[in-house]
Chains A and B, each alone.
Chain A
């Protein structure tokens, strides 16, 4: 391999080092803050809040994973293994809930399942006037909301695994006389395990770091507690302690997932690949399948969107569609654009160096950048806050702090599409360009960048979308009067002004839809 010019390399390396420092410093700072906290605060937290918070967080994660698994795997199996009218449509539609931020779903469910809400009224017509349904503001309620919001992760991964699945394994089991149930348990499911585990890890991290749903449904998890400590206490000791616990918890889940994946590698046998035959459904089965899919998708997307549209058209909501509202739209757009651009610019050198010059330093920088995974929104906000206050107090209360927090938090999401994009192009192409006389910079500009353009676009869109939906860090760090759409939804919804929250919520969902299409066509199908 022809060596890249040393001068440009070292400047790139500096950028990568700086980005890694940007990510790691806040984490280190917050840990020191927690460790230097008064031991009395530690012991008080351990004896009172921590057991409850840990139990709430872990049990919620487990319950949501169970629900998401049932929904995700069964829907994926239906759309890949059954043939019925409308199958292709369902195949695409089942991704739609991903456009729904958890806080929007939570606030709609707060109304739907709420005390005296429509679902309860319906239930009382059947079961008598005194009948009660479960409250959305309970363990069960939060589980349902989070399960509906996250099952598409598992659906997507399981579906692509099922599509790339060699049926000969199942057929061999069949010729050996295994019953259908036995085939599913001992052949199909184990083969799906890697993708299911990856999906489960996504769901767990999502639940552990979620703020929107748990805050609106008043369910105490570690992430929500960090936020409450930050806003309710005069110092950040307790918040930093809980943050460190949260980081450790997320790290544990992440490491377990990696370990699982390494333990269970399955390889498709080369050649002789045959797509599975779909089961043809008769009309009765079709009706059954369509009804159950419609119920799942209706609860996760259809009904909420219809309600949002209805509320947005109500006179109360139309009144607030003034210049102030468009100011919020503008703020959201500006923040998301800046964060996405900054994220891509910081992510590119990291991913490039780690794949082209995989020294321990470069791969270390890349791994460090993934730390954002274990920094839920309030923790990222707290980390950036203490760091900025100590190092560069001038930027406190400006947009810059917010951007740093976003980049810190969402860089992993961007890297996940940048990294494979860069790895997929062979270094030979760049080497050819160099032998033909292009300089290192020109090679990057004329060969590498055009080739990884799609990866860059996907990374940018991902960060943009996530920033649009971001809530806790924005709440904690926004400059004066700098409200975003997500903040308006949360503020109005937390006082149960359903109509007033609807236009902003609907806009967030609508912006997410085309981006979802982009991701579907580029990212997931390739995966």
Chain B
């Protein structure tokens, strides 16, 4: 082959060099990496730390009513807070929904939320369930309860959460894992009520009694108790009632703990919502908040999720323990945020899984 021929061949435009493949691939990758941002143009993006089954029906109803589409990212609460902090103003999220007031308050102090002043909120949600500047708003209430298998435990055997540290329950107790926000919130409340030293002893007892029965999901704890794999479990109340709604014959019941004279009261937390500061879709986001705090939205949380609605005029499900019949621990929700760092340290010190 002559030198000139080879040169001519080399410059033929149709030859497919492999660097070209690289360029094309890079383009494709870049194209795909932009897609999420394009998609976000005409719809509301919701980051949700709640189980998808518990929040999607409410969001679907919102879409059906207003025509506003919603992109939902369901993931861990703390993971999402970290993510929003990292994403800053570029975050695709418009709205953050989660199941822990402490995390909502942390997101507020990190400057992620936009304070809302809306008459609808003031009217529907009592002030103790909102941030001071209304940058997050509670949507539904939940209580730490002790659930037990009726074939294995008698209801009068347990009065207080603190009883669960008793060695007689060794190997019979299921607890949430050390990363779950509702454990953090609960331990924070216990610390605020009985002090760090007693809390530490309590957690050590809990750790030893639970052994390997440490679960990622509350629904798994309820399953384990219902099957008799363990006798007792600590969960948020609505998981038990949701289970009973589908399987009424299940041998499972609820103790509302710490109601005795001088007891600390039941540990309450709320699921809530915040609108992100940078979002250009404030109007749509406000519509979503308005929908969720109004009676229709609150009813979804009450009927479907079996939570306690925060709207005073909406009734909780009949099966639940009447809200007026028990008292909640006296720790303000917003305080959960500042309590959290030392709580995490304590949980780590005890070496919970």
B83→A397 contact, CB < 8 A: yes
Indicate if the CB atoms of B214 and A115 lie closer than 8 Å. Answer: no
The reply to whether B81 and A479 contact each other, CB–CB distance below 8 Å, is no
**Residue from A48, A338, A475, A495 with most neighbouring chain B CB atoms (10 Å):** A495
CB < 8 Å: which of B34, B87, B215, B344 contacts A233? B344
Kindly state whether residue B250 has any CB partner on chain A within 8 Å.
no
CB-nearest residue of chain A to B351: A48
Contact B29 A342 (CB under 8 A): yes
A396 B178 Cβ-Cβ under 8 A: no
Per-residue interface assignment for chain A, residues 107 to 129, with 1 indicating a CB less than 8 Å from any chain B CB and 0 otherwise: 00000000110000000000000
Complex CA–CA separation, A304 to B261 (angstroms): 54
| Complex contact B36–A480 (CB within 8 A) | yes
A116 touches B227 (CB 8 A): yes
> Contacts A137-B212, A218-B215, A389-B86 known; A342 to B349 CB distance under 8 Å?
no
Once the chains bind, are B36 and A479 in contact (CB under 8 Å)? yes
> Nearest chain B CB to A58's CB is how many angstroms away?
18
Complexed CA–CA distance, A218 and B223 (Å) = 15
Contact call A437/B178, Cβ cutoff below 8 A? no
Expressed in whole angstroms, the Cα–Cα distance for A437 and B5 within the complex equals: 10
For the complex, is A285 an interface residue (Cβ under 8 Å from B)? no
Could you mark each residue 39-57 of chain B with 1 if its beta carbon is under 8 Å from any beta carbon of chain A, else 0? 0100001010001000000
B106 near A228 (CB under 8 angstroms)?
Answer: no
A48 adjacent to B348 (CB under 8 Å): yes
Interface residue A44 (Cβ < 8 Å from any Cβ of B): yes
Does chain B have a CB within 8 A of A65? no
Decide if B219 is an interface residue (CB 8 Å cutoff).
Answer: yes
Docked-complex contact A495 and B177, CB < 8 angstroms:
no
Partner of B353, one of A45, A116, A220: A220
- Which of B15-23, B132-140, B290-298 forms contacts with chain A? B15-23
Closest to B110 in A: A234
With A338-B32, A479-B36 as contacts: A228 and B91 at CB distance below 8 Å: no
> Are A52 and B351 neighbours in the complex by a CB distance under 8 Å?
yes
Considering the chains assembled together, what is the distance between the CA atoms of A230 and B75 in angstroms? 12
Complex: how many Å from CA A301 to CA B190?
48
Which of the segments A358-366, A409-417, A442-450 contacts the partner chain? A442-450
Say whether B224 contacts A441, CB under 8 Å: no
Task: Please state if A338 and B83 are interface contacts (CB–CB under 8 Å).
Answer: no
- Given A48-B348, A218-B212, does the pair A228, B179 have CB atoms closer than 8 Å? yes
With A345-B25, A403-B29 already in contact, the answer to whether A233 and B10 are too (CB < 8 A) is: no
Question: Given the complex of chains A and B, what is the CA–CA distance between A444 and B71 in angstroms?
Answer: 46
From B2, B73, B87, B344, residue with most partner A Cβ within 10 Å: B73
Indicate if B6 sits at the interface (CB-CB under 8 A). Answer: yes
With a cutoff of 8 Å between Cβ atoms, the chain B residues found around residue A230 in the complex are: 79
In the complex, B63 has a CB within 8 A of chain A: no
Query: What is the chain B residue whose CB lies nearest that of A400?
Result: B33
Residues in B whose Cβ lies below 8 Å from that of A228? 177-179
Q: In the bound complex, do residue A476 and residue B79 qualify as a contact, i.e. CB atoms below 8 Å apart?
A: yes
A416 to B22 CA separation, bound complex (whole angstroms):
21
Partner of B25, one of A234, A341, A496: A341
Q: Which of A385, A389, A479 has the largest count of B CB atoms less than 10 A from its CB?
A: A479
Q: Do A231 and B79 touch across chains, with their CB atoms under 8 A apart?
A: yes
Which residues of A lie under 8 Å from residue B82 when comparing CB positions? 234
Which residues on the B side are within 8 Å of A238 (C-beta)? 348
Q: Is the CB of A441 within 8 A of B90?
A: no
Contact of B29 among A338, A396, A441, A442 (CB under 8 A): A338
Q: How many residues of A contact B (CB 8 A)?
A: 55
B18-A444 in contact (CB<8A): yes
Chain B residue with Cβ nearest A398: B33
Complex interface residues of chain B between 165 and 222 (CB less than 8 A to chain A): 177-180, 212, 214-217, 219-220
Of A45, A348, A398, which is within 8 A of B34 by CB? Answer: A398
**Count of residues in B whose CB is under 8 Å from the partner chain:** 67
Chain A nearest CB, measured from B337 CB (Å) = 10
A302 touches B (CB below 8 Å):
no
Name the residue on A nearest B78 (C-beta): A232
**Contacts A44-B345, A341-B25, A436-B1 given: A234-B78 contact, CB under 8 Å?**
yes
**By the criterion CB–CB under 8 Å, are B71 and A480 in contact?**
yes
Tell me which residues across on chain B come within 8 A of A138, comparing CB atoms: 212
Kindly state the separation between the CA atoms of A48 and B82 in the bound complex, as whole angstroms. Answer: 25
Q: How far is the CA of A399 from the CA of B219 in the complex (A)?
A: 31
In the complex, what distance in Å separates the CA atom of A334 from the CA atom of B29?
Answer: 10
- Is there a chain A Cβ closer than 8 Å to B28's Cβ? yes
Q: A439 contacts B10, CB within 8 Å? A: yes
- The one of A232, A334, A341, A444 that contacts B180, using a Cβ cutoff of 8 Å: A232
Report how far A348 CA is from B1 CA in the complex, Å: 29
- For A215, the chain B residues whose CB sits under 8 A away are 216
Tell whether A39 is near chain B: CB-to-CB under 8 Å: no
* A143: min CB distance to chain B, Å: 14
* Chain B contacts for A220, CB-based, 8 A: 353
Which one of B73, B79, B81, B106 contacts A481 once the chains associate, using CB atoms below 8 Å? B73
Indicate if B115 sits at the interface (CB-CB under 8 A): no
B30 sits at the interface (CB 8 A): yes
Please, how many angstroms separate the alpha-carbon atoms of A231 and B80 in the complex?
8
Known: A400-B33, A437-B6, A480-B36. A445 touches B18 (CB 8 A): yes
Is the C-beta of A438 less than 8 angstroms from some C-beta in chain B?
Answer: yes
Q: Are A441 and B17 in contact (CB under 8 A)?
A: yes
B92: CB under 8 A from chain A? yes
A482-B36 contact in complex given A234-B82, A396-B90, A441-B17, C-beta closer than 8 Å: yes
Q: Is A355 an interface residue (CB 8 A)?
A: no
What's the least CB distance linking B105 to chain A, in Å? 12
CB contact list, A374-416 vs B, under 8 A: 385, 389, 393-400, 403
B229: interface (CB < 8 Å) = yes
Tell me if B35 counts as interface (CB < 8 A to partner A): yes
Q: How far is the CB of B89 from chain A (nearest CB, A)?
A: 10
**A115–B217 contact, CB under 8 A?**
no
- Are B71 and A49 neighbours in the complex by a CB distance under 8 Å? no
In the bound complex, what is the Cα–Cα distance between A441 and B92 (angstroms)? 43
Q: Which residue of B lies closest to A482 (CB)?
A: B36
Given A115-B227, A480-B92, A441 and B10 contact (CB-CB distance below 8 Å): yes
| A48 lies within 8 A of B18 (CB) | no
A396 touches B229 (CB 8 A): no
B328 on interface, CB distance cutoff 8 Å = no
Q: Can you report 8 residue pairs joining A to B where beta carbons are below 8 Å apart?
A: A218-B215, A220-B353, A231-B179, A234-B82, A396-B90, A437-B3, A438-B1, A476-B79
Give the top 10 A-B pairs by smallest Cβ distance, nearest first. Answer: A232-B179, A398-B33, A48-B351, A400-B33, A115-B229, A437-B1, A480-B73, A231-B79, A231-B76, A479-B36
